[in-house]
Amino acid sequence: MKQDNILVIGANGQIGAVLTEALREAYGTDHVLATDIRAAETATPGPFEILDACNGAALNEIVRRWRITQIYHLAAILSARGEENPLWAWNLNMTSWLNVLKTSLDNGVAKVFYPSSIAVFGPDAVKQNTPQDAVLIPTTVYGISKVAGENWANYYHHKYGLDVRSLRYPGIIGYQSDPGGGTTDYAVHIYHYAVKGEPYECFLRADTALPMLYMPDAIRATLELMEAPAQNLSVRTSYNLAGMTFTPAEVAASIQKYLPDFQVRYQPDARQKIADSWPASIDDSRARHDWGWMPQYNLDAMTRDMLQHLGERYGRKVGG
């Protein structure tokens, strides 16, 4: 068991909730402090404190009191919700991240994780197999904040030597937690509707191909990056990361192999424009080269696992 004290900011979010459990498994429950702007409905066992990371003094106090050695900053306003209130989203995403960087430097935090996103790419980037160094002209405030955040990470590393590491997550799908305010959220909701035996109205067109990653792969990628030898890392903005690419029609077909009566209707909304600005697939060869990244789940393996776990939650045996 490694003796670190780890702070997770945004621990009640879709990725934060699962990452907190994985970190507690690796470092010991009492060495991982979960924080969020409000308490979760279903508290999981382990240290928790209310923290608004936009309050630099509060963040600094917690880092000092807990002698934090690693920070995972999972709090952010995502793509769709950010477009409803752009300046609020920008201020929250940037103020919190700049507080994390300054507090980490001031308190000798050894390692910092920053979640970026394939949302850093816009319509000017190559659509298929988007390379690590593609042009970054995003069309959402969320994407703009992630491009800026990546560059602040790179700046703190090269100017001050802070060990900041980052991944450009694709859409993340998992059964353990709910997504909030994203454009890829459909890929989680669709499984819940299917297991509940209800038709699903998808807010993207049936043929919208997007890069996606199953939660176990996303969590493993995060821990593998954070544990990689620093000298192997050639990217200090953020690594492209990919798992699979699929469309709403393809995930529906994958589900219908187990639930043949499941129906999907397609009713694109404002999120279609965001999705159309993003890559369809990602080249993550740099991550594979630098720290041995290799996804383990494809669409059918994810569907089988999602349906099995959600079936248990909703009391309906499916798949598996």
Q: Which residue ranges make up the site for ligand VAH (CB under 6 A)? A: 78-79, 117-119, 142, 169-171, 182-184
Q: How many CB atoms lie within 10 A of CB 118?
A: 26
Residue 99 or 238: the one with the smaller Cβ distance to ligand VAH is 238
**Residue 142 annotated in active site:** yes
d(CA 170, CA 191): 18
Nearest to ligand VAH of 111, 168 (CB atom): 168
What are φ and ψ of residue 235, in 5° steps?
-120, 120
CA dihedral sign, ordered 72, 75, 77, 79:
positive
What DSSP string describes 108-173?
T-SEEEEEEEGGG--TTS-SSSB-TT-----SSHHHHHHHHHHHHHHHHHHHH---EEEEEE-EEE
Active-site hit among 27, 142, 186, 191: 142
* Least distance CB 130 / ligand VAH (angstroms): 12
Nearer to ligand VAH, 58 or 148 (CB): 148
Determine contact, residues 187/251, Cβ cutoff 8 Å.
Answer: yes
Residue nearest to ligand VAH (CB): 182
Min separation Cβ 267 and ligand VAH, Å: 18
Smallest distance from the beta carbon of 184 to ligand VAH, in angstroms? 4
Of the pair 69, 117, the CB lying nearest ligand VAH is at 117
What minimum distance in Å lies between the beta carbon of 296 and ligand VAH? 20
Encoded amino acid at 48, one letter? F
Q: Hey, what are 16's tokens?
A: 């934060």
Q: Which residues are catalytic, by number?
A: 142
